[in-house]
Chains A and B, each alone.
Chain A
Amino acid sequence: MIDIFYASVIVLILTIFLCLYRILVGPGVENRLIAVNTVGTKTIVLLVLVGFILERPIFLDIAIVYAMINFIATLAIAKYLGRGCIC
């Protein structure tokens, strides 16, 4: 069962590289923002996998906090670019 965890880590890192292509190339700020949000989503699963591989449950708390920061950052940047201020 630990082998499928290692395989999942490798596949997730490859998908993160696919998203990095869109961050580098993508025209305009909105494509880059959606790619950054996708990378953050994959990082949540990656953190949980690292916690399972190293057998340290403290990584789950880091994953929860990372999910909150990802959500708030995306929402704040979208509002700032849409209205000109965060309000």
Chain B
Amino acid sequence: MHLLNTLALIFIVIGLFFMVVGAVGLVRLPDFYTRAHASGKCDTLGVGMMLIGFILYEGVSQVAVKLLLLVIFTYITLPTAIHALVHFARVCGVEPWKKGDARR
């Protein structure tokens, strides 16, 4: 039981790290496409790792099954939403950032 709690703690801390990195990338990066890159990847991995940590903390129960469903749902739908947003920006003519341009 003690080992499982330690493993859950490690997973939760790694997930928090990825969520902070995603938010900082959302503020710091220069362009819409790079911001979509940071937000989509880091948030998907962070949410998955934090929820897997909660599963390890909870053990085998009904709550763990609901959390597993939430992990699967997030892993399918979050990249789909980001992809739809990037496709909308590409259709509306947002130009990608090149080296030497001003930050947008």
Residues on A close to B: CB < 8 A? 1, 4, 8, 11-12, 15-16, 18-19, 21-22, 27-28, 30-31, 33-35, 37-38, 41-42, 44-45, 48, 52, 57, 60-61, 63-64, 67-68, 70-71, 74-75, 78-79, 81-82
**Shortest Cβ distance from B24 into chain A, in angstroms?**
7
Beyond A22-B27, A52-B57, A79-B84, 9 additional contacts (C-beta under 8 Å) are: A18-B24, A30-B89, A41-B78, A42-B43, A45-B15, A48-B67, A57-B63, A57-B66, A67-B77
Which chain B residues border A78 with CB–CB below 8 Å? 81, 84-85, 87-88
Chain B: number of interface residues, binned into ranges: 35 or more
Within 8 A of A (CB), among B10-59: 12-13, 15-16, 19-20, 22-24, 26-27, 32, 35-36, 39, 43, 46-47, 50-51, 54, 57
**Shortest Cβ distance from A27 into chain B, in angstroms?**
6
Complex alpha-carbon distance, A74 and B85, angstroms: 8
